[in-house]
Amino acid sequence: MKRLFGHIPAKLTLVITVCVLLMSSGCSAPNHEGFAVYLTKGDIPPAQMPALSHVDIAEQPVIAMNDIIAYNAKTHEITLTANAFDRISSLEVPVRGKSFVVCVDRKLIYWGAFWTPISSISFDGVTIWKPLSSQDPKVIKLELGYPSSSFYGGEDPRNNAEVMESLEQTGKLTTMPSATTVNKLPHSMKGYELYSWPEYSQWYFTLITGTNRNKTLEEIISNANIISEDGWVHIHVVGVDAIKTVLSRLPQNEEILWLARLRSEQTPQGGVNITLPTGPTIDTIKEHAGRCGLDFLIQPP
């Protein structure tokens, strides 16, 4: 049976008008905080947003720059810290949405709405779908429309230059395709190296093309995802499920060496310590690699 949806207009074409009229609002006072997502003061429903000439934002952002681990400029996926992800997954989001405002230095750039996947009401603006608290990796996405992009109306505001520049200045902007959506990774003559480290109460992983040279710490922990035409691969993901997905993309019989420490004598910096997780986590990943037909080796601690 065809599913029927109600409809709420977003009218994002009014954003420029709203921005001009917000000069006296709390969203116009720059404080150099960079990219941030705010809820509206008074919790203005999405249906009322297009008609307003003035919007006040909440005192504190619901997503601040410090909450963001990485922002993928191609997919508009935002990898969050565990605390920030819990905050978003705990939001009370009605079926008609919960308005948010994207700002740079508290200046309004565009607005959208948090949306719950159980809603049967369509929306033609930018959305962030409320995630499940158990979801891993801890990623949310700025989507176009609900329940699909076919419901979206207007121009796409997500590539705004001020937003991209703000994220790039903090080193959190990535421009490569999402690592977990790549269908197949290339064969490597020297296999692959896998590195892991704990941070923000989560496990971070980097899969990188094997070479004779030692990798630097900066190279290993970079959040850039690279799959070049000449076969060079550098994939950075957060969470056990994410690295299992990446390993599933490797050819059968590919050799992977999971390193328990840096090969070089470089001292760990910024609290990053290349190491292996606990035994159960190691076993989970190793068993998955075996099911994928990979030649999976683990460096002794």
* Whole-angstrom distance, CA of residue 135 vs CA of residue 193: 26
- Count how many domains the chain has: 2
Q: Is 254 helix (H, G, I), strand (E, B) or coil?
A: coil
- Same structural domain for residues 59 and 121? yes
Share of the chain above pLDDT 70, in %: 83
- pLDDT of amino acid 4: 40
Beta bridge partners of 174: 72
- pLDDT of amino acid 37: 98
Query: Domain containing 186: what range?
Result: 179-298
- pLDDT of amino acid 8: 58
Q: Which of 127, 156, 174 is the last residue of a domain?
A: 174
Residues in the chain with pLDDT < 50? 1-5, 11-30
Q: Which of 143, 174, 205 is the last residue of a domain?
A: 174
pLDDT digits (tens, 9 = 90+) for 59-100: 999 999 999 988 988 889 898 888 999 999 999 999 999 999
pLDDT digits (tens, 9 = 90+) for 26-39: 444 446 899 999 99
- pLDDT of amino acid 132: 82
- Same structural domain for residues 33 and 132? yes
Strand pairing report for 35-39 and 98-104: antiparallel
- Same structural domain for residues 151 and 213? no
